[in-house]
Structure 1
Amino acid sequence: MRRPGLKDDVAYSFFDPDISVLKDMIALIAPDHVGLFREMYGGILKMVFRLMDRDRSVVHTLLQFYDPELRCFVFPDYVLGPMMEDYADILGIQIRDQVPFYATKEEPDIGGISRAFYLSPEVVKGNLKEKGKLPGFHLSFLEAKAKEQSELGNWEAACALIAASIYGIILFPNQKNFVDINAIRLFLLFKWFVGYLPSKGAFVLLGQNITWATKLMGLRAKDIDWTHSSGVGQDFICSCRGFPNVPLIGVQGCINYNPTLLKRQMGFAMELPPYKSEVQESVYFPVEGNQARVKQVSEAWRSIQRKGKVSWGRANNRSFPPFDDWLSKRVGLTCLPFPMVDPWYPLIEETPSTVSMDEFLEMKRERDRLLTEKTELEMSVARVQRVNQELKVKMEDQDKRHALEAKRFEMDTAYYGKISQALASSNREHDITKERLARASKVIEDEKRRQILVRDQRDDQVRVLIAEWEAKLKIIAERDHYRAERDHYFRQMKIHQKEVGRLQQENTELRFAAEFARMEDEIGPSVGPSSS
């Protein structure tokens, strides 16, 4: 949309993840292990929050000030831009001189992932899925494993799984058009920007009906809280090997930012306009199809150049006319997104006076000295305030832990009281059971004696029966022997009878023969007539 004298209004789409699962996972961390998580992964737990509509309005308004060429946000008389040191301060982690993570088409290192998550290689390999052309894990898998490890008391593993989920869902999600300004992460950007806004005075007292565009256009450089970061006055990353600025690697692509324009955020003065080589677009391309360039950027992080007091002197976060003139021309060239608004802190007109050059130079030196002292005092106050805030947070944490311990003590006392009652009841039941067992033992002994008596009687009966059966068997044997002898006698009788019959037959035949012979003898030879 064209607006005369103003920058075009740009619409942005904001990613709004469901953080309910992450909150459930964070709830798994026992209070006495929060310190372990913070020690291992910094302050990323505080990044799990949901932005309200008003917070989104802040970010949307801020993004209208973005200058794509300078890679920062340009306001009426100052510039701001996220730096690695800012995010490190927000997250409570250190910037290490090492090759950062970058998207690669190579096979995932199963062993490395296994060691990082404290899981077996088989489990890692079996649950590694691909989404958006990059391998990863479903949140449900990480949640289940985090619960499992916390129940087992493996807190290092549980913390690793929870941290991986926060990084994947909140800090560095894999979205389309990651390099595009439309995909700037809300959570870190919101946290970063509100840290520089005034925390007191007219700006804070503005009504809710005043838009953020009007609020921000009424701010000037002197209103910004330049000293809120813990890294103020320290050396910071200005460039990496082969690049005039700082290249960054995201899940979807690479982009650079220009630390030379952001020295004031680290407490150093903006004296001169930046050189063109310091603010040129050195990196801006997608990961897809540019693996060689991505690797070149990652290798550049092996050689980090830092600058600070040695290069720019003591911290005083001021800006000088040469830089102010350059910035004013830049604003006139690119335009601001909203109409100008009078400062929320009106300038006080000074009464003109005439002084000598010596007096002027002396007053200038004194003013510079006082400004320097003021800056140092403000930084000291800021540090003291941060220390006090940290102590306050620690005391609140201790109070919470004490309250939790007291509650646990009450719960334990009630629990042990119930256990004592249960033990007393158990003792009574034990005595009753013991008495029942004694009676049962007596019954068992009586039953044993009765069984022994019955067994003896049974044995006697068995012996009597055996004797009777032996006698019966003897009688049966004698009977069988008698029957055998009788049968043998009968068989012999039959044989004798047959023999007697035969002999009688023979005797009869002999008598008949003898009788016949006798008869022949008695008859003699027959007498007949003679033949002569």
Structure 2
Amino acid sequence: MEVQLSAITTLVRYYDSLLRCFTFQDFQLAPTIEEFEHILGFPLEGTSPYQHLEHHASIPTIAAIMKLHPKDLEEKMVTRNQVRGLTQGYLELYLHHLADKEEWEAFMDVLALTIYGIVLFPKIEDFVYYTTIDVFVAKKTRSENPVTVVLANVYGTMSFCHERKGKKILCCLPALYAWMTACMFKGPVDVRYPSEDLSHQGLKGKGGNEWAQFLVGLNEWKVKWRLPWLEMKPSIQHCGDFPNVPLTGARYCINYNPVLVQRQFGYHMKGAPSPDYLTAFFIYHEDRHCTEMLRRVRSAWENVVRVEKDLRSGAMDNRVSYHTWILERVREVKLPFEPINDQSASEGPSQAPESEEVKQLKVEMEKLRVRNARLENELQKARNDFVDMRNDNEEKSRAYENIVKSQKAERDYTFRVKQDLAAASKELSMRVNENNVALEEGRQWKQLYEEAKRDKREALKRLREAQVQVQESGHQMKEMTTSFEAELNQERWKLAEAEGEYRAMLKQMEDYIEE
């Protein structure tokens, strides 16, 4: 991208350091995270912003990414202006080496590191300093988004230049230039190739004077308030306990104020912004007392407030119009350039004496001039009122569209509910019929159960009678057994007596024979 440095240096002179914005004759502009997300191609939503650590990335970590031995990388580290880093020349040679070996993953990482140091975060010419390497390592190893770092460097370098009354602008100039041209030209501007579009505007290749006249002629009617490629989605309005948005850069922390640029989000300014919501801070990481502020910033980014419009009750003072407030701010900060009015040729050395008619005409012209000035003021006021009315109408139109959509959604919902109720009623009827059938079957089963219970009782009764009969039969059998045993014992006794008599007779016979 070809950047016209004269445009950037002219734009920086309009920077309002206290409010973190560019203040023009009747409006203000400020780069936002949402705009830089698109320009840089780094969507912030769903990712974590860069968080500055109080130590540099280690040499082994950097070497692992670059596919180098830590000792080799340490040898290539050099110091320039008391800052350590890698030279662009070494990185380009190493890129050729990686391309020859077809190590494309390492090639892309080293190329990205070079772009980070030379384009996104420049500090020393042809040099990638260590802090830039930290940002790259954070993106590579911790997936931290660098868009907030780029935006912080934009605000930081402009505030630094404003404080020091002119220093080198050290930030991502292509991103700032793309944002500037996209906002300040009504026609479509491709943020990737803005110079090609500017050639049609007659500003390509212009110098500082031409850009100064262009910027001094800008008013709220000539800028593009909402960039066409921004989606209508909630924007970051403030973070945590900060009234605005804190940004952590490569070298410092700084804030910016979305409350000042609600028109860039698609909403007009209805009042003067409250000073309490414009609190500024600017700290360097080298400052030993910044640890607590860094902790606050990290904590704030854990509670990001994304809404379409800043609705905080104290953010705007509706008692004072924004136009009155901005004109007072312009008188306070004093614009860097004044419009150049073409003067007529100088009067000749001799003039005819004025006639009475000429004097009357001059008086009339003066009256007309005063009237014209009054009419211009009224016209400007009418324009401002028209802008407010138009913005109110747009808001009402959006509200009406939302109401229509809501009513349509309610009608659709009611229709679906009716359909669901009809289906549910039909299903309920089917369930009632099934329930009636089940009840009838239940009654039949109950009747069968009662009959089975009666049969069971009768069977139990017969069983008990049979048990009684069995018991009686048992008693009879026992008595018969007892009687039989008694008779058997009697017979045994008789048999024993007969056997005794028989033995006695045998003995008598034996005795007789012996005699």
- List aligned pairs for 1:200-349, cutoff 5 A: 200=187, 204=201, 211-228=210-227, 230-285=229-284, 287-293=286-292, 295-296=294-295, 299-300=298-299, 302-309=301-308, 311=310, 322-340=321-339
The residue aligned with 1:174 is: 123
Show the 5 A alignment for 1:26-425: 46=1, 49=2, 51=3, 55-95=4-44, 97-98=47-48, 100-102=50-52, 104=54, 106-174=55-123, 178=157, 180-181=160-161, 182-184=167-169, 185=171, 186-200=173-187, 204=201, 211-228=210-227, 230-285=229-284, 287-293=286-292, 295-296=294-295, 299-300=298-299, 302-309=301-308, 311=310, 322-340=321-339, 368-369=393-394
Given residue 73 of structure 2, which amino acid in structure 1 is its aligned partner? V
Alpha-carbon distance in 1 for matches of 2:123, 2:326? 35
* CA apart distance, 1:143: 1.6
Q: Give the AA of the match of 2:226.
A: T
* Residues 417-436 of structure 1 aligned to structure 2 (within 5 Å): none
Cα distance, 1:132–1:244 mapped onto 2, change above 3 Å:
farther
Distance, in Å, in 1 between the alignment partners of 2:13 and 2:96 is: 42
SS of 1:223's partner is coil
Q: Any conservation in 2 of the 1:65–1:73 contact (CA below 8 Å)?
A: yes
Cα distance, 1:196 vs. partner?
A: 0.8
**Structure 2 length-normalised TM:** 0.50
Q: Deviations over 1:226-271 (max 9, x none)?
A: 2325335322223333322222333333322112112222323222
Distance 1:304 1:134, change over 3 A: farther
Q: Is the 8 A contact 1:81 1:262 kept in 2?
A: yes
Q: Which amino acid in the other structure matches residue 275 of structure 2?
A: K
For residues 291 and 99 of structure 1, do their structure 2 counterparts lie closer, same or farther at Cα, with a shift above 3 Å needed? Answer: farther
> Structure 1 residue 320: deviation in Å?
12
Which residue is 2:147 aligned to?
none
CA distance in 1, matches of 2:289, 2:80: 19
Structure 2 Cα separation of the partners of residues 223 and 320 of structure 1: 27
Please state whether the residue corresponding to 2:221 is helix, strand or coil. helix
Q: Do 1:247 and 1:257's aligned partners in 2 also have CA atoms closer than 8 Å?
A: yes
Counterparts of 1:204 and 1:67 in 2: how far apart (Å)?
Answer: 27
Give the C-alpha shift of residue 199 in structure 1.
Answer: 4.4
Distance in 2 (alpha carbons) for counterparts of 1:370 and 1:108? 49
Task: Name the CA distance, whole Å, in 1 between partners of 2:23 and 2:237.
Answer: 20
**Deviation of residue 365 (structure 1)?**
8.6
Give the letter for the 2:182 counterpart: G
**1:357-406 CA distance string (max 9 Å, x none):** xxx99xx6998159968xx9xxxxxxxxxxxxxxxxxxxxxxxxxxxxxx
Structure 1: tracts of 5 or more residues without a match: 1-45, 314-318, 343-348, 353-359, 377-532
CA contact 1:217–1:339 (8 Å) conserved in 2: yes
Q: TM-score scaled by structure 1?
A: 0.49
- Shift in alpha-carbon separation, 1:146–1:133, aligned structure 2, 3 A: same
Shift of 1:129: 3.8
Check 1:298–1:169 CA distance in 2 against 1; reply closer, same or farther (3 A cut): farther
Change (3 A) 1:309 1:255: closer
Unpaired segments of 5 or more residues in structure 2? 126-155, 162-166, 189-197, 313-317, 342-374, 379-384, 402-515
SS of the residue aligned with 1:237?
A: strand
SS at match of 2:95: helix
Q: Deviations over 1:436-479 (max 9, x none)?
A: xxxxxxxxxxxxxxxxxxxxxxxxxxxxxxxxxxxxxxxxxxxx
CA distance in 1, matches of 2:270, 2:320: 7
User: How far, CA to CA, are the matches of 1:240 and 1:323 in structure 2?
Assistant: 24
SS in 1 for 2:183: coil
* Cα distance change on mapping 1:367 and 1:278 into 2, 3 Å: closer
Q: Is the 8 A contact 1:82 1:192 kept in 2?
A: yes
The corresponding residue for 2:144 is none
Kept in 1: contact 2:20–2:256 (CA 8 A):
yes
Q: CA deviation at 1:339?
A: 1.8
Structure 2 CA distance for partners of 1:310 and 1:223, relative to 1, 3 Å: closer
Residue type matched to 1:277 in 2? D
Indicate conservation of the 8 Å contact 2:236/2:304, yes or no. yes
Structure 1 residue aligned with 2:407: none
CA contact (8 A) 1:234 1:266 kept: no
Paired with 1:141 and 1:61, the residues of 2 have a C-alpha distance of 35
Verify the 8 A CA contact 1:77 1:328 in the aligned structure 2. Answer: yes
1:172 shift after superposition: 0.8
CA RMSD of aligned residues (A): 4.2
Asked whether the equivalents of residues 108 and 135 of structure 1 are also in contact (C-alpha less than 8 Å), the reply is no
Q: 1:264–1:112: structure 2 CA closer, same or farther, 3 Å change rule?
A: farther
State the shift of 1:80 in Å.
Answer: 0.9
